[in-house]
Structure 1
Amino acid sequence: MKVSGKTRVCALLGDPVEHSLSPCFQNAAFQHLSLDFIYLAFTVKAEDLRSAILGVRSLGFYGLNVTMPHKISVIQYLDELDENAEKIKSVNTILNRDGRLIGYTTDGIGALNALKYNGVNPGGKKIVILGAGGASRSVSFALAKEAEELVILNRTVARAEKLVSDVCHLIVRSEKIRWGGLTEENIRKELREADILINATPVGMSPNEDETPVNKKYLHPDLAVFDLVYHPLETRLLKEARMVGA
């Protein structure tokens, strides 16, 4: 890869980002397509997010990906949101168009397509989502239209309740979607008849590969398990799901 004064810069902002595979596959894509771009990853603490976005604007970065924990908080520093991001109130992609920063969200459609690509149709199913952050918001809005029953469990219960309220207001009838605390009892109760489990928390992410949000004893063969954590590629949750035949 040749870098010159004309090379356009794209970046990932988050905390942490050391585990991210994005620079590897994004730069490979740029090279394959003969695009004069480079993709970097920057650790940005919550208290530094505003100054980081100002820097992106000043330095003329072409675009950004945004990951945990900034997918919601970054919105206040943008000039515009596309229709989906405006509705969902979560952003994972930012384009710099002549100095105007425009936010988009692709997590939800990405998760929906990934499920279907792997032969898991969420239509008419009971889906349990762990977490209520930015990624969970996008995924919840995308799956609420498809699922027969959607349950969102989060450590901060008020955040799960707010997400359910937002989804109900814009997408589905209230009896179709529920919320609760991310407790062992709720996990046990909700997974018993669940068809799909989605982990939208950072639990299990490198360097904490030994952690899992769900005790293995609550997993079962009729459950499809989707972990939004992708480093390591096989988290402990996925490994234990395979062990029980899920």
Structure 2
Amino acid sequence: MKKLFAVIGDPIAHSMSPIMHNELFKINKIDAHYHPLHVKKIDLEAAIKGLKAIGTAGFNVTIPHKETIIPFLDRLDPLAEAIGAVNTVVNEDGELVGYNTDGSGYVKGLMDKIETINDKNILIIGAGGAARALYFTMARTGVKRLDICNRTLAKAAAIVEDCPYSVVSRAIEISSAEASLSQYDIIIHTTSIGMAPDINQLPLSLHNLQPNAFVSDIIYNPLETKLLHEAKQRGCIVQNGLNMFVHQGALAFEKWTGISPDTEQMKANVLQQLGG
């Protein structure tokens, strides 16, 4: 019997996850289908009950349900519980178990270009769900310093205060981050600023960026945001959000099937769909 997988969100039509996972099922000769489901906030509880009732083998969760889905799940992985957000659900013998592969997927993608982050001074820009997942995962992994900046300072401070893992850190305003940008080895942008169609925006000034810094943007449409373009012009190594997208998807696929997929092939398939 064909297994059913899904991604739920609002909106959902833009998601490339169905293309990525259905291709993986085909490559690995798994009789399964991955379907996008448009679920509004008001219908979330009913949708989760329905997915469980029909025996859905697993599903992904995207905006705006990553946090609000938690009360409707049976169990949480410890990291997902600490982060307070879920992006992957596995049906384990009738129980819906929530995981968060965003942070781990990002770190795996980062390791494609950087050998270690343990000795790095890192700045995260933004304080949303993605920033929280990255912050907690990197704090658990271990870094030299992990600062976070946001237009609303209180949101950044809440992430620092909530993190259960020990790390040298501070929450700072955007202006402070701009002034001290040269102190950071890695700068990670996690907001939607610069995403299509508003591609000419920057989250902060790069005036004090050091030329050998590594600048990362979790956006992958466009493949090169204005932030990455300007950082590259200043001599920095840059990375878009494609690696994070592929690696978090690969981790989800592994949790569902026990198979570690070929991430390079996954990346090539997504690039083809993006016209890159």
Q: Is the TM-score greater than 0.5?
A: yes
SS in 1 for 2:183: coil
Q: What residue is the counterpart of 1:3 in the other structure? A: none
Q: State, as a whole percentage, how many aligned pairs show the same letter.
A: 40
Is 2:184 aligned against 1:194?
yes
> What is the DSSP-based 3-state SS (H/G/I as helix, E as strand, rest coil) of the residue aligned with 2:201?
coil
**1:120 Cα deviation (Å)?**
5.2
Residue 119 (structure 1) shift: 2.3
From 203, 225, 231, the equivalent of 2:193 is 203
Contact 2:178/2:206 (<8 A) preserved: no
Matched, 1:110 2:110: no
Q: What is aligned with 1:228?
A: 218
Match of 2:43 among 44, 48, 63: 48
Give a deviation string over 1:22-79, Cα, whole Å, max 9, x none.
1121111110011111112233333333233223223332211112332222212111
- The answer to whether the aligner puts 1:180 opposite 2:172 as a matched pair is yes
- Asked if 1:27 is matched to 2:19, the reply is no
Measured in 1, the distance between the counterparts of 2:201 and 2:54 equals 39
Q: How many residues align?
A: 235
Distance in 2 between residues matched to 1:191 and 1:201, nearest whole Å: 18
In structure 1, stretches of 5+ residues that fail to align are 1-5
Measured at CA, do residues 39 and 207 of structure 1 come closer, stay the same or move farther in structure 2, by a change above 3 Å?
A: farther
Report the TM-score, using the length of structure 2 for normalisation: 0.77
TM-score (norm 1): 0.85
Counterpart contact for 1:92–1:105, Cα < 8 Å: yes
Given the superposition, is the C-alpha separation of residues 219 and 70 from structure 1 closer, same or farther in structure 2, using an over 3 Å criterion? farther
- 1:94, CA displacement in angstroms? 0.3
- With over 3 angstroms needed to count, the CA separation of the structure-2 counterparts of 1:218 and 1:89, relative to structure 1, is same
Per the alignment, in what secondary structure is the counterpart of residue 163 of structure 1? helix
Q: Which residue of 2 is the match for residue 86 of structure 1?
A: 81
Given that 1:20 and 1:231 are in contact with CA atoms closer than 8 Å, whether structure 2 keeps it comes out as no
CA contact (8 A) 2:211 2:235 kept: yes
